[in-house]
Structure 1
Amino acid sequence: MTRAQFAVADPLVLAKVRERFGGRIRFLISGSAPLDADVARWFAAVGLTVCEGYGLTETSAFTTVNLPEPGRHVFGSIGRPAPGTEITTAADGEILVKGPGVMRGYHGNPDATAAVFTEDGRFCTGDLGEIDERGFIRITGRKKDVFKTSGGKYVAPGLIEAHVKGLCPYVSQFVVLGDGHNYASALVTLDAEAITPWAAEQGLDGGSYAEIVTSPQARDLVQGYVDELNRGLNRWETIKRFAILDRDLTLEAGELTPSMKLRRSVVLDHFAPQVESLYPAN
């Protein structure tokens, strides 16, 4: 049945998607930010294999990568180490890298250099991960971002945030909170280009961005996706409450880095009243 469905879908839909990418793509490389495994599977079903990789400035960028050949690619992983590169994990799960791509140190800053290397010369990436029996590596969180609830459970917000972006086409930013609290919550911003045509269908056309995203219809929309998200999370990770912000996060406000990564502490500071509203009992 699946083969029959594919035979119909390929010329009608999937081939058109491939053509939008030029029609001659053998595979694509993804890096810089987590790629949701379901998004990767969708592209693979279309015939566009996305090979996710990983690296840092300090490791000369390319450290691990999935390859397009069968058996050398695992969805949800960042692949296996580059030739000559050795990757291990510390007792707390931090990914450690040793190899020819690793920097010698930060120029003119021996103290900073000493802080990021182990005694045997392994670079401490700050990312948490796990390595399976075949050597494929999965990122499970950012060491400095992982927080603990008041119930003693650890939550890796980056994984949840990446999953939401693969799940909901309307979300621009989804900032998971909960450090020291008894449940997780989120600050949400919506993508202006995606939400505008949706707003027209809801009879909200002509409204400002702030009016659209703070409408009851927008809240119901986000709630539906949050409910879907929660069904795939552990009980202590589920998003109990959320607030939709009346503007998106910006580089100019210092809430995003030049590479568009989230500056979590800045966001929490700028939207302190909204954060407080998510934990009224505190």
Structure 2
Amino acid sequence: MESVINTIVARPPAPGHRLRVVGLDGSESIDLSELHAQAGRLAAHLHSQGVERGDRIGILAANSLEWVLLDLAALRLGVVTAGFEPGKFEASDELLTRYDLKHLITDRSAKEIRHLAETGTETPAALPPPPCYEPTDTTTLKFTSGSTGRPKGLAASVGSIDSSLRAVQEMFQHGPDDDLFVFLPLSLLQQRYWIYSALRYGHDVTVSTYEAAFLAMRQTQPTVVMGVPGFYESAKKHIEARAAASNRPLEQEARKLFGDRIRYLWTGSAPASAAMLRFFTTAGLPIYEGYGLNETCIVSKNHPGAHREGSVGRVLPGKHVLIDPDTNAVSVRSDFPVNTRYAYAQPGESERMFAPDGTVRTGDVGHIDDDGFLYIHGRADDTIVLDNGKKVVVRPIEEAMKASPAIAECVVFCPGQTKLVAVVSPSHEPPDHEAIAVHLAQTNATLERDERIHKVVVASPPFSIEGDTLTSQFKPKRSRILDLHRAEIHDSDRGIHA
């Protein structure tokens, strides 16, 4: 099978398609053939500085053209990149030592990188021959989201990247008229997939940031948006508010926000609510949910021609989903695994996640229907056992609470194993306590007695990446939220009571 990575390393793309980078401070655009050439010149400079195949360089920077150039230059040399997310990691000598980095490049180096890429010289003598990667070779060290503690390192294999890109291209047929929109941090390997896809399959790609996403979409009119459920939940509330204020149809407001060229919306990385998925489909923007982990890459995906509501899609070729007959626990075995253990983790963490044969224990529970569609019911640890023996699955309760326009996020705890307490992140500041109280009563009315929320703690400040209560993929950090609000959770006099 063709290696996408080897193809984009070995030969330049045909001219005519572009990478755009859009931020709050402006935008720039570069033809993909020139991007390839500049990455080669930067690779030649790195090689002249003694950077060789097998070395590791760290990139601790915001999304930018320089980030892309460094990543592609590293691929050209066979150098492993370690993508560090700003805010989650700090530049230090300890970082260099801990992750065995030859160089650590930060935002401060941007001007120098640009100069070298634009004016440097790439000659046959300046660069070794392009590497020919084997499926088990690694190109990048990526990190888990950190939702369950300190991020763990995972060296990603070329085989896993290639197989994922081939599967996505087969499902969605990205082509010359497409512009794929990326705004999550490039330190997340999957965000770089879409740049590799553009170089191999011939389409445009736009890179932005979360803060500039809506502005960038209006400017560039993408055909595909890659986003996590939290982003679409925010967009949904924005569209609903604008439609109510203007008395215009939801579909019109949705198109104003996302642009007129949208072919489909992509979501994954965290559970998506059925209400949100239906909202966008009804508004004329088809949205397709998938399933995967850092440790597995993409496992299943809904797509045109193979979409089933409530599922996370049909299992992809090369992925084998195993369901435990007693517990419904989901495990995944891959023909081309991301890896079979963590590169950096506490003792025992690799063994807990990876079986001896490399099968990944996901921690999720679910089932597969007769047509091969996978359904995820929640996390195994989403189940709380009360002191009366009753088992309560909290994910549906949290989703029900998030249906309120006043609530952006909800995490349910159970102090003393007796009564449920929800910590909610308000959608607006100041919080609408009255609306939250009304929705609490409405939600409890639909639940059985043991499932009802005893009280709500309103987080102040709201959950955020900057506040270390959300991961970069907008998943709540449960342990961190519990630590911050432990006193309020346990204090019977504080909070909004049912």
Could you say which TM-score interval applies, normalised by the shorter chain?
0.7 to 0.9
In structure 2, C-alpha distance between the alignment counterparts of 1:136 and 1:227, rounded to whole Å: 35
Shift of 1:65: 0.9
Aligned to 1:174: 410
Q: CA deviation at 1:64?
A: 0.8
- What's the offset of the Cα at 1:172? 2.5
Residue 351 of structure 2 is aligned with which of 97, 101, 114?
114
Aligned to 1:267: 481
Give the aligned partner of residue 301 of structure 2.
Answer: 65
2:469 alignment partner in structure 1: 255
Task: Tell me what 2:268 maps to.
Answer: 31
Give the corresponding residue for 1:89: 323
> Which residue of 415, 418, 423 corresponds with 1:187?
423
- Structure 2 unaligned residues grouped into runs of 5+: 1-247
1:73-100: CA deviation from partner (whole Å, max 9, x where unpaired): 2222211211121112223222100123
Query: Shift of the alpha carbon at 1:121?
Result: 4.1
Q: Could you tell me which residue of structure 2 aligns to residue 229 of structure 1?
A: 443
- RMSD, matched Cα: 2.6
Q: From the superposition, tell whether residues 18 and 250 of structure 1 become closer, same or farther in structure 2 (CA, over 3 Å).
A: closer
Deviation of 1:28 (Å): 1.4
Q: Distance in 1 between matches of 2:367 and 2:400?
A: 18
Q: Which amino acid aligns with 1:240?
A: H
Secondary structure of the residue aligned to 1:220 is helix
Aligned partners of 1:42 and 1:252: how far apart in 2? 29
Q: 2:415–2:489: 8 Å Cα contact kept in structure 1?
A: no
Distance 1:113 1:245 in 2: 34
SS, match of residue 243 in structure 1: strand
Once the two structures are superposed, residues 190-221 of structure 1 have per-residue CA deviations (whole angstroms, 9 ceiling, x without a partner) of: 123xxxxxxxxxxxxxxxx4xx43xxxx3321
Q: Distance in 2 between matches of 1:76 and 1:236?
A: 26
Q: Are the aligned partners of 1:148 and 1:180 in contact in 2 as well (CA < 8 Å)?
A: no
Pair 1:125-2:359 in alignment = no
CA distance in 2, matches of 1:175, 1:153: 19
**TM-score, with length taken from structure 2:** 0.45
Measure the CA separation in 2 of the matches of 1:279 and 1:178: 16
Separation in 2, partners of 1:101, 1:13 = 46
Report if the CA contact (8 A) 1:161-1:175 is conserved: yes
State the secondary structure of the residue aligned to 1:114.
Answer: helix
* % identical equivalent positions: 31
Give yes or no for contact 2:406–2:435 (8 Å, CA) kept in 1.
no
Distance 2:492 2:483 in 1: 14
Match of 1:53 among 286, 290, 313: 290
Given candidates 370, 375, 379, the residue that maps to 1:142 is 379
Q: Distance in 2 between matches of 1:75 and 1:227?
A: 28
Aligned partner of 2:408: which letter? S
Between the aligned partners of 1:263 and 1:108, the Cα distance in structure 2 is 20
CA 42–88 in structure 1, closer or farther in 2 if over 3 Å, else same: same
Figure out how many residues of one structure are paired with residues of the other and give that number. Answer: 243
Structure with higher Rg: it is: 2
Task: Provide the C-alpha distance between the structure 2 equivalents of 1:223 and 1:147, rounded to a whole number of angstroms.
Answer: 23
Closer, same or farther in 2 for the Cα pair 1:117/1:99, shift >3 Å?
same
Equivalent of residue 340 in structure 2, options 101, 104, 112:
104
The alpha-carbon deviation at position 136 of structure 1 amounts to 2.2
Q: Are the aligned partners of 1:26 and 1:49 in contact in 2 as well (CA < 8 Å)?
A: yes
Distance 1:83 1:268 in 2: 39
TM-score (norm 1): 0.75
CA offset digits 1:125-161 (Å, max 9, x no partner) = 1222232333322222223343212222223333432
